[in-house]
Amino acid sequence: MSFQEAEGNESAPDGTATDAVDGQTLAERMFIGTPAGNDAYIAAIDRCRDAVLSAVGEADRPYSGSTYAEHRERLTQDTIPESGRKIDEVIEDLATDVLEESVYPSDEACSAHLQCPPMVPSLAAEVVLSALNQSMDSFDQAPAATVLEEQVIDDLTSLFGLGDGADGVFTSGGTQSNLQGLLLAREHYVAEVFDRSVRTSGLPPTAEKMRILTSEDAHFTVAQAAAQLGLGEDAVVTVPTGDAHQMDPDELADELARLKQANCHPFALVGTAGTTDFGSVDPLNDLADLADEHDLWFHVDAALGGALALSETHAGKLDGIERADSLTVDFHKLLYQPISCGVFLLSDGDKFELMGRNAAYLNPKSDQVSNLVSKSLQTTRRFDALKPYVAFRTLGREGMAALVDRTVTLADRAASLIRSDPGFELSCPPTINIVTFRYTPERDHPARSPDEWADRINRRARDRLLASGCGVVARTEVDGCVHLKLTLMNPRTTVADIRELLLTLKGYAAQAETKAISNHGIESDDRLDFAPVCGSADEESR
């Protein structure tokens, strides 16, 4: 219904309301809790459901192929109009303007990022939690939700073997969880070594010597967290990896020795269980040994790889994760939950006191109930625990594990396809669900080096694939060279789907190569308008 319909006002010939707005009458129709509001909710949800199924459920490709400029030119309507319209008209516009012009992670050829197709049980949970609108900061805003989140956290700490004293909290995802882990590591170290509270007194003068160690293939949020914590990105020491892109424990031991010689203060070690570019898992037991030896806080970023804990086949890849002081796991990656849904786990739940605070209006010290705000970097927070709760209750651990296992197996088979094709070069064998590779041109370029030439063709092929709407793959760099990446998140995707995607990609690469060579090495300036997606126009012209 429109704003005017909700008011029952007469309209002037130009469509403007002639009477003053009656907020009470409007409220009766715009909120659940009245017959009119309940009916409006049913109608709106039904319309949205139909629009989603029409656009997403019946899609024949993962993207329309529209460019950034085309979206800017098309989306010109007022976002805050003076007067409203019928909601079915708004949803109809939404279907055309947004739904039909989105990337669909549910499509079998959408394989670029750690962006999963959300499973049906969790989509149902999203409807419920949005309507309930519980705020997880205090018990009196989310009573049943508070207890349910605590129960889910307890089961997760058991799943990862973190011990009886472990605790945790749901987060927006890996960025927040990694920040929280390093925040607690910093607070704990400064309190123990310098007898000082950073929260009350700030960083000690010797903070410029504090160091965080992590893999050279770790997620950028480790460095970002160091900057946000006032230590600076220079406080992060990256440790070399081997051919499998796992942190080398010998290199780590050498780096710790160098830091000691330089009178630095290493206080945290971040291991990765599932790197973004390769899905690699660091040797967690070896890292835990060194963390124990040097009294380091051991944080494990398992935003991707944490899902392997459900699998009897692949859980062994996480050996040593139970020794972590803190742990990041994302449900909106390989556990198929709608964004956002992550969790931060802490082996010693008492250490949440290092960051907790009390507000008289929200979580006074006298309260005898749980107010989860004391564990979170957020105050207002969604009831995201409901999504994995509904998913696990529906599928069970066995069902969720079967989906994870299928996706990991698909990555192995995709890697076999790439190995068997002389037109492609596999970067390294996949560990979880990420397959990184590169197209190798058949002919040399008369004026470009082999790597520069291959970089350009790989960029072009990826861009043209996206512009066609037939597939979405990612781009990254390995040893300074452009590579492509299949991030396989969809259990519905088959080997045949991957084969078709690779053939299409290879066709675009061959076209770009042939066109350049046939022009005697002078490539035409037919740049695609995908600067926000794949780099600047200057980069495209290299």
Instruction: Output the domain CATH number for residue 456.
Output: 3.90.1150.170
Does residue 434 share a domain with residue 374? no
Q: Could you tell me how far CA 101 lies from the centroid of its own chain?
A: 21
Those residues of the chain that have pLDDT short of 70 are 1-20, 519-542
Does residue 400 share a domain with residue 372? no
Give the whole-angstrom CA distance, residue 445 versus residue 488.
32
Strand partners, 447: none
Does residue 336 share a domain with residue 193? yes
Instruction: Judge whether 142 lies within some domain.
Output: yes
> What are the φ and ψ backbone dihedral angles of 97, each rounded to 5 degrees?
-80, -35
Does residue 334 share a domain with residue 213? yes
For strand 265-272 and strand 481-487, is the pairing parallel, antiparallel, or unpaired?
unpaired
Structural domain span for residue 305: 135-357+367-382
Instruction: Judge whether 443 lies within some domain.
Output: yes
CATH number at residue 92: 1.20.1650
Instruction: Judge whether 542 lies within some domain.
Output: no
Instruction: Judge whether 350 lies within some domain.
Output: yes
- In the numeric block, which tokens belong to residue 457? 């063709």
Q: What pLDDT score was predicted for residue 207?
A: 95
Torsion sign over Cα 37, 38, 43, 47? positive
Does residue 222 share a domain with residue 76? no
Count of CB atoms within 10 A of residue 268's CB?
Answer: 29
Alpha carbons within 13 A on the beta-carbon side of 436: 23
The answer to whether 519 and 476 have CB atoms below 8 angstroms apart is: no
Q: What pLDDT score was predicted for residue 2?
A: 53
Does residue 435 share a domain with residue 373? no
Alpha carbons within 13 A on the beta-carbon side of 63: 22
- In the numeric block, which tokens belong to residue 256? 């710790």
Instruction: Judge whether 221 lies within some domain.
Output: yes
Q: What pLDDT score was predicted for residue 11?
A: 38
Q: How many separate domains does the chain show?
A: 3
Instruction: Judge whether 25 lies within some domain.
Output: no
Q: What pLDDT score was predicted for residue 520?
A: 54
Q: What pLDDT score was predicted for residue 522?
A: 47
- Which pTM was predicted? 0.91
Question: In 3-state terms, what secondary structure has residue 176?
Answer: helix
Give the whole-angstrom CA distance, residue 192 versus residue 186.
10
Does residue 150 share a domain with residue 91? no
CATH number at residue 297: 3.40.640.10
> What are the φ and ψ backbone dihedral angles of 303, each rounded to 5 degrees?
-55, -40
Domain termination residue (choose one: 84, 102, 120): 102
> What are the φ and ψ backbone dihedral angles of 350, each rounded to 5 degrees?
-65, -25
Does residue 411 share a domain with residue 290? no
- Unique residue bearing structure tokens 């370029």: 445
> What are the φ and ψ backbone dihedral angles of 81, each rounded to 5 degrees?
-70, 160
Which are the contacts of 399, defined by CB distance < 8 A and separation ≥ 6? none
Count of CB atoms within 10 A of residue 206's CB?
Answer: 13
